[in-house]
């Protein structure tokens, strides 16, 4: 890496995706997928896959390679495996929905772009995260591939920061732990994950009860589920190839955000220098991306994270706590989900605290 004045030169990227892609701001404008997308998975083949309606979102799911994916994302999964060409310095933030994804995206973007966009209030008055929602800063892979717009990724400078909810098996060269790029995965205690998802989707389907959402998690039939297989895919990869897959827990991020930001920076190859530490760079990033701070930005108080389903961005910034499940689950519900977790994760070394 080139140097100037003894300091490493800053990479150009990641750049805010919305700044280079105006269509990201109007996601309801869908382009037709490119010709030949998933040519070995024709429409009649997709329609032959087992299906069900997502209980809390108006979408049909199909069971593909052991996971319940949105029907429109199955061709995207095929295209991602075939046509996503990872670069060595790519970083993909992966998770199940409602596991702290938005927070981690913000922290990752602020960390990786800190030299181009200083996070402190003085120097960072025009920081992208102060004017854009975190999801406008980072491209959502299956959304792009479902619209046949994956070529937009090629135009992004390195290092690229991307986001997905797909299981590891749907990423290119998944057996290698991420296809040559780095993957940062975040998981959350399953009971809290179920509660957060219910609050989120009630903006679309207010009549869906928590009991219905809970059952879909227990049955493994939630979108991108079963949740246990999704989590374990990344967990095992993080053990096998820790240099390419970093596994984070939401609860640990809450307890020690600064320590986990340092871990993230080290993992993506951009550790904080002594000068940055002395200047309070880590604390500035944590403060910029705090829930209270992000909740106050105009970009997070207005507009829609999902314009088609009219889900407001403000729903992404609810409580940001651990243990909220105690206010929503009966003891019997909690025991049932805990038993499932004990059965599915027993002997793996992964535990939820």
Read off the CATH number of the domain in which 263 is found.
3.40.50.300
The pLDDT confidence band at residue 6, using thresholds 50, 70 and 90, is very low
pLDDT averaged over every residue in the chain: 83
Q: Is residue 77 part of a domain?
A: no
230 is catalytic: no
Query: How much is the pLDDT for 18?
Result: 83
Question: What per-residue confidence (pLDDT) applies to 104?
Answer: 95
Kindly report, residue by residue over 93-152, the tens digit of the pLDDT: 999 998 989 999 999 999 999 998 999 765 556 899 988 889 889 999 998 998 888 889
At 315, the pLDDT band (50, 70, 90 cuts) reads: low
Range in 17-26, 147-156, 184-193, 216-225 with the lowest mean pLDDT: 17-26
Question: Does pLDDT of 196 surpass 90?
Answer: no
Which segment of 98-112, 270-284, 318-332 scores lowest on mean pLDDT?
318-332
* Counted domains in the chain: 1
Q: Which of 117, 127, 135, 165 is catalytic?
A: 165
Are the C-beta atoms of 160 and 87 separated by less than 8 Å? Answer: yes
Residue 296 lies in a domain: yes
In angstroms, the Cα distances linking 125 to 140, 254, 265, 297, 300 are 26, 25, 23, 12, 16
Inside any domain, residue 30: no
Q: Given a cut of 60, is residue 87 above it in pLDDT?
A: yes
* CB-neighbour burial class of residue 161 (10 A; exposed 0-12, middle 13-18, buried 19+): buried
Structure-block tokens of residue 100: 């702290």
Dihedral sign, Cα of residue 121, residue 125, residue 131, residue 132? negative
CA gap 331, 311 in Å, rounded: 31
Q: Which residue has the higher pLDDT, 287 or 19?
A: 287
Partners of 312 in beta bridges: 304
Count Cα atoms within 13 angstroms, Cβ side, for 114.
Answer: 28
Query: Is residue 219 assigned to a domain?
Result: yes
In a domain, 61, yes or no: no
Q: Under a CB-based contact definition with an 8 Å cutoff, are residues 20 and 115 in contact?
A: no
Range of the domain at 213: 87-345
H-type alpha helices, the chain: 17-20, 43-47, 74-83, 101-112, 128-131, 134-137, 141-146, 151-154, 190-201, 210-218, 227-240, 250-255, 257-267, 274-279, 281-288, 291-296, 298-301, 331-345
In sequence order, which residues have a C-beta less than 8 Å from that of residue 288 and are 6 or more positions away? 106, 110, 119, 120, 124, 127, 129, 130
Q: Is residue 336 part of a domain?
A: yes
What is the three-state SS of 247-262?
EEEHHHHHHCHHHHHH
* pTM greater than the 0.75 cutoff: yes
Q: Which residue has the higher pLDDT, 274 or 31?
A: 274
For residues 33-54, give the mean pLDDT.
67
Return phi, psi of residue 166, to 5°: -65, 145
Q: What is the dihedral of CA 299, 210, 193, 344, to 10 degrees?
A: -160
CA dist 83 and 153 (Å) reads 11
In a domain, 259, yes or no: yes
Residue 131 inside a domain? The answer is yes
The secondary structure element, H or E, covering residue 4 is strand 3-4
Does 294 have pLDDT greater than 60? yes
Q: What angle do CA 179, 16, 168 make, to 5 degrees?
A: 25
């Amino acid at each position: 890496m080139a140097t100037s004045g003894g300091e490493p030169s800053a990479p150009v990227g990641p750049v805010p995706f919305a700044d280079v892609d105006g269509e990201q701001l109007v996601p309801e404008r869908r382009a037709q997928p490119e010709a030949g997308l998933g040519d070995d998975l024709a429409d009649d083949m997709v329609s032959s896959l087992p299906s069900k309606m997502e209980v809390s979102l108006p979408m049909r799911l199909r069971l593909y390679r052991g996971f319940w994916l949105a029907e429109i994302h199955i061709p995207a999964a095929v295209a991602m495996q075939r046509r996503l060409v990872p670069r060595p310095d790519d970083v993909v933030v992966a998770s199940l929905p409602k596991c702290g994804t938005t927070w981690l995206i913000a922290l990752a973007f602020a960390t990786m772009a800190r030299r181009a966009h200083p996070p402190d209030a003085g120097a960072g008055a025009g920081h992208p995260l102060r004017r854009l929602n975190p999801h406008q800063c980072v491209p959502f892979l299956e959304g792009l591939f479902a619209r046949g717009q994956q070529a937009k990724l090629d135009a992004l400078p390195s290092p690229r920061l991307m986001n997905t909810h797909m299981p590891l098996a749907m990423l290119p060269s998944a057996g290698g732990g991420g296809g040559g790029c780095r993957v940062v995965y975040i998981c959350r205690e399953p009971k809290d994950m179920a509660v957060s998802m219910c609050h989120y989707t009630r903006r679309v389907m207010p009549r869906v009860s928590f009991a219905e959402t809970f059952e879909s998690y227990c049955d493994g039939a939630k979108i991108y589920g079963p949740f246990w297989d999704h989590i374990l895919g990344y967990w095992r990869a993080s053990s096998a190839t820790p240099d390419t897959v970093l596994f984070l827990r939401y609860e640990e991020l809450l307890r020690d955000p600064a320590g986990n930001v340092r871990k993230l920076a080290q993992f993506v190859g951009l550790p904080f220098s002594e000068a940055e530490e002395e200047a309070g760079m880590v604390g500035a990033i944590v403060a910029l991306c705090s829930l209270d701070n992000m909740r106050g930005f105009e970009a997070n108080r207005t507009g829609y994270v999902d314009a088609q389903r009219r889900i407001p961005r403000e729903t992404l910034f609810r409580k940001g706590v651990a243990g909220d499940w105690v206010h929503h689950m009966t003891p019997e519900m909690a025991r049932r989900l805990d038993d499932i977790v004990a059965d599915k994760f027993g002997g793996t070394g992964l535990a939820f605290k």
